[in-house]
Amino acid sequence: MDGGTDGDGKQAARARRIAAWHRSERTLAHGPAEGRIADRLAALALTADDPSYGGDGWVDVYGDGVVEELERRVATLLGMEAAAFFPTGTMAQQIALRCWAGRTGVPVVAVHPLAHLEVHERDAYLTVSGLRAVHPTSEPRPPTAEEVRDLDEPFGTLALELPLRDAGFVLPSWEELVAVVEAARERDAVVHFDGARLWECTAHFGRELPEIAALADSVYVSFYKSLDGISGAALAGPESLVAEARAWRHRYGGQLFQQWPAALAALAGLDRELPRLPSYVAHARVVAEALRKAFTAAGAGWSRVHPEVPHTHQFQVWLPYPAAVLDEAGVRLAEETRTTLFRRWQEPGPPGLAMTEVTVASPALEWTAEDVTAAVDAFLARVRELMRRDG
């Protein structure tokens, strides 16, 4: 295997993976890890040269200038009164929940146990703000209106992650989302959307961003998860809430001296990637079907593409092999054929099963179903070779 248990071994394995990915001539999806600093700086310089991004202006100081322009742009795109830029989505979310708890007087958040707030933010809502969570459901899907309505204790905020990433980037139907929001209103609760990936939800809902965002009292969006930005997020909502959030942003240490690189990259992503997202979602369905059929034809045993028809341009793939074997097979495929099919695998579920997330973006648009099938066959051949070698 390419791994190692010590720090040097892990760094060597990472360098090998990135080198293999970077040299690939065909890649199902690029990730931020293989981007060279010089390449990202060159792309940022091209963005700065475009007058529409204010490249002739001064760098921002504590969030003015190009950062303010980005905030105005996001508020307009979402149909909200105002928006504030944050260095991280975690900070944006925590401040939003804190502000709403103060306004509703109820420090309880109704949230899915697989949501980012619960899984990836180190209990910040509890340890930093003293809030508490209740779970409408533990099923790996968005909560239903009945589950929200039937919660047996009061809650001040319903936080909905759209899409619910750790359940497979899944979304409710539009009618289900409307019903869930209405159920929260019946409970006198406000609604906050964890919309880190809200940008790519329009195709599934058949609605534009302002109509989707209008269901919520506040919305958080990310600039790097779907838009190829460097970092950063925004919290959008009523002017009074955003003003309060700016004050808490300063208290939380998020009032950075200069943020123009992240703001420029975000503006470029809104112009370049946002219009392409519906095409990515459509092609994700082609890729997912091709993967599912290829695994079945190759006799891969228990395998899953989840959801079978992706709700966004991202979905899960599950295979019955150790993650370390799948990682090594992927690196060998890239090194030997200059083709990158999958990236890192993990084992978050039952023993003997590994999962990877697939993101279909511009590099994948040139892949046909036949291309996917050929790559799967080559990948599985290396998996089986490694399994035979390891006994």
pLDDT in tens, the chain (391 residues): 544 457 788 999 999 999 999 899 999 977 776 778 898 899 888 888 887 776 667 889 999 999 999 999 999 999 999 999 999 999 999 999 999 999 999 999 999 999 999 999 999 999 999 999 999 999 999 999 999 999 999 999 999 999 999 999 999 999 999 999 999 999 999 999 999 999 999 999 999 999 999 999 999 999 999 999 999 999 999 999 999 999 999 999 999 999 999 999 999 999 999 999 999 999 999 999 999 999 999 999 899 999 999 999 999 999 999 999 999 999 999 999 999 999 999 999 888 899 999 999 999 999 999 999 999 999 999 999 999 987 6
Name 317's bridge partners: 305, 356
**Contact between residue 323 and residue 346 where contact means Cβ atoms under 8 Å apart:** yes
Residue 363 burial by CB count (10 A; 0-12/13-18/19+): exposed, middle or buried?
middle
Distance CA(205)–CA(355), nearest Å, equals 26
- Tell me what pLDDT residue 1 has: 54
pLDDT of 202 reads 97
Tell me the C-alpha distance between 20 and 10, whole Å. 15
Residue 3: what pLDDT?
47
Q: What local confidence, expressed as pLDDT, does residue 352 receive?
A: 87
Q: Are 359 and 309 in contact (CB under 8 A)?
A: no
Please give the pLDDT value at position 4: 47
- Rounded to whole angstroms, the Cα distance separating 357 from 369 reads 18
Strands 108-111 and 218-222: unpaired
